Every structure is written in structure tokens, then in C-alpha cells.
């Protein structure tokens, strides 16, 4: 599935940044050029980070002039940049409509993970997430999604970003077409060439869209679970009222299919006295006993106005030990970037909220 190019005579310049290979080929055919020009453009834009058509020397001068007249390669400006004491970098990116989004780079031994946003804000209102408090404005375009990787590579240098996770602002599966186009660029050998195991989409559980994703992509999947039963998950992740756990897990099993080596990562934020007791651990073990899975325990990152506290280190260790003893793969995420509000659940950006809060979930479910 590709993001379709705008008409070349529309009067508005087409931003080529967000076109995946199929869409780029369609664009060149439309203007009377050979489809192979698409791979040349992808390499210039995404591998070499070039945004000036005049510098694309393996294109004819006449083609470069035509592209400059009709197209552009436009990326958001960095409104603000911060670097944590642990090396985590956060960029606040200014969009054309005065909204802002946040992108985070997390360096680790042997890898560098970029956390990108897919929407301006989020409509799902998960109760433990600071992003949800900001409201929702709109979906990001494919160009705005992939621009976060483009900017990060420009700022950090080639080779620093080895993994991308769609775990920033927004629910990726509610911006399906643009997310698929952007992840296609991430995987394309003529763009960023990332392995499908190194691109992870995190979802709260939009079941129909998850089934659609299985038809067009096989990138890694992470699911924001956070509770072992529907009653508690309805409170923490309200979309569960529409797509309860049983339906969600069935969709996860369909997504991984018959590839026994593939597993779904289930994210589980640790909330003191809410979902962290031995009884919750036993329920989670039963729940995931027949799902190819690994569990990522996430210490809760507080934010102003939150009513939750993080589970204590001993509680998290005990919870993890119970999962391990039952044969589940369980890891505890190391909190990174919390001193610059770049940790999981803390991304806020600046969102011109266009929804009424009490109608937001209703709109998402319709």
C-alpha cells in the first residue's frame, strides 16, 4: 500500500519525502519519466540526506529543474532539542500547522533506537499516559512520520539509528495508510534498509487494522496490554471496551501466523497496587500461555496530574521472576530520558486539540 502522489499540476509542490518506492515510481511515470528514477531519488533523499535537487548529479539538468519547479523535500524544523544525562536525545519538531511532535533517540550498547510519533496527540485516553492528556489534532502524513528518521540521521550521523519503534505520540493503526508508507521506506534497501525485525509498531489493539496490517506488512509487533483482564484493562486502556482482550490476542496470533520464531511483545506498565500483585502475574501467565509472546515490564514514568505511582523495584523483580518461572520471556525496560520527559508515556509535544474529550473515544470507535 502506497501513499498516492498529488496531481503534478495541482499548483502545490509535492513533498517527495513521504513517497515510498511504488508511489515514487507512479509519480515519475506520471511526468513521463522512467520508473527507475524512483530508486535514484530514494537514495538521494533517504540514504544521502540530500534535499536540494540541484545536487542530485546523476539526474539530467532538465529533470532537476522540473523537479525543483513542481516538487520539494520538506522536513520539519527542530523547535527545541534536549539531551539527557544518559545520552537520550529528544527533538521537538515544528509542523506546518503550528502543532509540534516529539521524537526520541535512545542510545544503547550495540544499538540505537528511535521512537517516532504517528499522530499529533492521541485520541485513546489511556489513563497512565501523558500524551493522552494533550488531546488529539490529526494524523501525521507519511512525510512527517519518515521525516523524524531523516532528521535524526542528519543530527546524529549515519549508522546511529539501528532500530525504529512507532511508540511515540499517537496510535499508529489509526493512521494506517501513512504508517504503512513510512515503514515501507524504513525497510526499503534504497532508502533506510532496516530489517523488519528492527521496525516495531506498538498498538493499543485496533483489531480490524491489525488484521489489515498482517496483509501488507510483517514488521515486529508490540501490544500495549497493561492488564490481564478486561475489567482492569477497560479502565487503563479504554479502547478495550471496543476490542476486548480475547479478540486482541486472537488477532495477535493471526499476525504472527505459523512462524514459530516470531513473538509479540506485550507491554505492561507497572502501576503500584493497580496491576502488579502476584495475582495479576498469575493471571497474565494464564492469559499468554498459548500466545507466542514476550513481556516488557515498563516502570511507570510519573507526570503532573497523574494519580498513579510506579511499582517498587522489589515488586517489579518479583513480578518478573514469576513470569520467568512460568516459562515466559520477560524483560524490565530501563527508564531512559526521564530527566527531559523523554521516557515512555511522557511525550507531549504541542497539540491544538480538535476533539471534545468526552466524544473522543466514541469517534475512534465509529
In the block, residue with C-alpha cell 532508502 = 191
3-state secondary structure of 184: helix
CB 127 within 8 A of CB 235: yes
Residue 162, Cβ density class (10 Å: 0-12 exposed, 13-18 middle, ≥19 buried): middle
In the block, residue with C-alpha cell 539527557 = 84
Rounded distance between C-alpha atoms, residue 45 and residue 57, angstroms: 13
Alpha-helical segments (H) within the chain: 21-30, 37-42, 61-70, 142-156, 176-187, 207-216, 230-236, 245-256, 278-287, 313-325, 357-365
Rounded distance between C-alpha atoms, residue 199 and residue 186, angstroms: 8
Active site residue 344: yes
> Of 25, 89, 102, 126, which is the active-site residue?
102
Rounded distance between C-alpha atoms, residue 293 and residue 12, angstroms: 46
Spell out the residues 6+ positions from residue 350 whose beta carbon is closer than 8 angstroms to its own.
92, 98, 99, 100, 134
Active site residue 102: yes
Give the cell for residue 23. Answer: 508511489
DSSP 334-350: PP-SGGGT-STT----B
- Annotated catalytic sites, by residue? 102, 344
Amino acid at each position: 500500500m502506497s501513499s498516492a502522489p498529488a496531481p503534478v499540476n495541482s499548483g502545490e509542490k509535492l513533498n517527495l519525502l513521504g513517497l515510498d518506492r511504488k508511489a515514487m515510481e507512479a509519480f515519475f511515470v506520471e511526468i513521463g519519466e522512467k520508473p527507475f528514477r524512483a530508486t535514484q531519488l530514494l537514495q538521494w533523499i533517504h540514504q544521502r540526506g540530500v534535499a536540494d535537487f540541484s545536487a542530485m548529479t546523476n539526474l539530467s539538468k532538465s529533470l532537476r529543474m522540473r523537479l525543483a519547479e513542481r516538487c520539494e523535500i520538506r522536513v520539519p524544523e527542530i523547535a527545541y532539542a534536549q539531551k539527557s544525562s544518559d545520552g537520550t536525545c529528544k527533538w521537538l519538531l515544528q509542523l506546518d500547522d503550528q502543532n509540534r511532535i516529539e521524537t526520541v533517540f535512545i542510545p544503547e550498547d550495540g544499538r540505537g533506537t528511535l521512537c517516532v510519533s504517528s499522530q499529533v496527540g492521541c485520541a485513546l485516553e489511556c489513563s497512565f499516559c501523558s500524551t493522552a492528556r494533550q488531546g488529539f489534532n490529526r494524523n501525521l502524513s507519511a512525510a512527517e512520520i519518515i521525516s523524524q528518521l531523516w532528521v535524526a540521521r542528519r543530527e546524529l550521523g549515519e549508522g546511529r539509528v539501528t532500530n525504529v519503534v512507532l511508540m511515540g505520540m499517537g496510535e499508529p493503526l489509526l493512521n494506517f495508510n501513512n504508517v504503512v508508507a513510512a515503514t515501507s521506506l524504513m525497510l526499503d534497501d534504497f532508502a533506510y534498509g532496516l530489517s523488519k525485525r528492527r521496525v516495531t509498531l506498538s498498538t493499543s489493539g485496533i483489531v480490524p487494522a491489525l488484521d489489515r496490517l498482517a496483509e501488507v506488512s510483517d514488521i515486529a509487533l508490540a501490544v500495549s496490554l497493561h492488564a490481564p483482564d478486561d475489567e482492569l484493562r477497560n479502565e487503563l486502556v479504554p479502547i478495550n471496551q471496543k476490542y476486548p482482550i480475547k479478540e486482541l490476542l486472537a488477532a495477535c496470533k493471526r499476525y504472527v501466523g505459523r512462524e514459530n520464531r516470531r513473538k509479540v511483545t506485550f507491554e505492561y506498565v507497572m502501576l503500584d497496587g493497580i496491576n502488579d500483585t502476584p495475582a495479576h502475574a498469575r493471571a497474565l501467565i494464564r492469559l499468554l500461555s498459548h500466545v507466542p509472546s514476550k513481556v516488557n515490564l515498563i516502570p511507570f514514568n510519573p507526570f503532573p496530574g497523574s494519580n498513579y505511582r510506579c511499582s517498587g523495584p522489589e515488586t517489579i523483580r518479583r513480578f518478573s521472576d514469576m513470569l520467568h518461572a512460568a516459562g515466559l520471556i520477560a524483560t524490565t525496560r530501563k527508564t531512559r530520558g526521564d530527566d527531559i520527559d523523554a521516557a515512555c508515556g511522557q511525550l507531549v509535544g504541542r497539540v491544538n486539540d480538535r476533539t471534545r474529550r468526552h466524544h473522543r473515544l466514541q469517534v475512534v470507535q465509529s
